[in-house]
Chains A and B, each alone.
Chain A
């Protein structure tokens, strides 16, 4: 067999899964499988130790629910990228989710990959962390038999801590007049992971952008906001002059762990994203 032996657990409820995760030593959680199964194959080929237990989340229907209410969106951690991209209520409330999710990987990968897996795997090149930070997402965890713990996406990715417990859902506030845009740089479309990505969100009042979040992803150690750039952008109408000024104030330390050409590309893509707001119609959350 291709994979080393393990005991497969198929919990039917969130509580059952959370207890299994906390109880089982040398266990791993299986979401969509687009990362884990290949990792298990590679570990076996290299003679590395593999988990003795795999806890599959695919049999818990409530983990795949998407709920769009007046003030909040809730996306179950097992919602696939295809599910997110094709949900009409979600697309109406936050079009940027469709734009990003429909461009990750390939069609079968999107049919299998989950938002939860993309977030908690902590690979530097996954795309949803930056988007979740920009959209002020909160991550909901369930540990063992205990109560739910909620952490903002910004804090979760900023601290680099290992996830505790089971990620059950992601909640996003629906903010009036929120606009958002995202661009990724890839060498080859499809299965290639992005070299870098930039996401900008803000509250648009007239032509002024307020409380912007400028989040960068891939090509840096972990997704983060460039607050120096945000400060320049805050409260100003986006024009070509402002775009150039913003790009000239990128925080050098953030990009210093990238190659020089990627640092340059971050500036290019930041300008491209900001230009979308010049005379834009990127309303989210209305």
Chain B
């Protein structure tokens, strides 16, 4: 089947088989390997993408089912060489250890802050509850989310980005 996918703001027309998962298509057809293959059981969140504003697990999503929807991967967060404030916060706060969970964490953070620009710690934990960090780097990840929220509200460093 011919399917139109909108990925990171760009339209693509692609021939797909019905059984192809979005995760496979992103990584193998488009080379967007920032979306990770990890548990493949919808439990770890490493495959998180944002579809029409909501965080979604690409390892259990059929690619053909998201035709016409706006798909955002980690590759679509930065603008050229300029990192998104969320990415910048994750770096500045030392939230990145091995890095494997980070694309999913960043996208989950974006989905959270787009909906709730000023989350409490409990709301941050709830918003990121679908993303596991095996390095157990949660405290710094939560710091990064709070810092990103400040940046995006324009009250901290990097205000106005």
Q: A: which residues have CB within 8 A of B?
A: 1-8, 10, 30, 33-34, 37-38, 41, 54, 56, 58-59, 82, 105-109, 111-112, 189-191
Contacts and interface: CB of A to CB of B under 8 A. Distances in A.
Nearest to B128: A107
A91 to B, nearest CB: 16
Contacts of A59: 65
Interface in B47-77: 48, 54-57, 59-62, 64-65
A109 to B, nearest CB: 6
Contacts of B20: 1, 3
Contacts of B57: 108-109, 112
Q: Which 6 A-B pairs have the closest CB atoms?
A: A8-B18, A106-B130, A37-B60, A108-B130, A3-B19, A111-B54
A108 B55 contact: yes
A6 B129 CA distance: 32
Interface string B100-138: 000000001001100000000000001111100000000
B11 interface: no
Contacts of B40: 2, 41
B139 to A, nearest CB: 18
A106 B17 CA distance: 29
Given A56-B65, A82-B54, A108 B21 contact: no
Contacts of B1: 8
A3 B108 contact: no
Contacts, number: 90
A8 B111 CA distance: 29
Contacts of B24: 1-2
B54 A189 contact: no
A56 to B, nearest CB: 5
Nearest to B18: A8
A247 to B, nearest CB: 31
B41 interface: yes
Contact of B62 (A4, A5, A33, A108): A33
Nearest to A82: B54
B62 A37 contact: yes
Contacts of A37: 21, 42, 59-62
A270 B127 CA distance: 29
Interface residues of B, number: 31
B65 A107 contact: no
Nearest to B16: A8
Contacts of B129: 106-107, 189-190
Given A107-B129, A108-B130, 14 more contacts: A1-B20, A2-B21, A2-B24, A3-B19, A4-B19, A7-B18, A8-B18, A30-B65, A33-B60, A37-B59, A106-B130, A108-B55, A108-B57, A109-B57
A10 B64 contact: yes
Contact of A33 (B18, B61, B127): B61
A109 B44 CA distance: 11
Contacts of A191: 43, 130
A264 to B, nearest CB: 29
B17 A5 contact: yes
B21 A3 contact: yes
B45 interface: yes
A90 B161 CA distance: 37
B49 to A, nearest CB: 9
A108 B45 contact: yes
Interface string B1-37: 1000000000000000111110010000000000000
Contacts of A33: 60-62, 65
Nearest to A106: B130
Given A6-B19, A8-B19, A30-B62, A107 B42 contact: no
A107 B54 CA distance: 9
A13 B90 CA distance: 44
Given A108-B57, A109-B130, A34 B42 contact: yes
B5 to A, nearest CB: 14
A179 B18 CA distance: 45
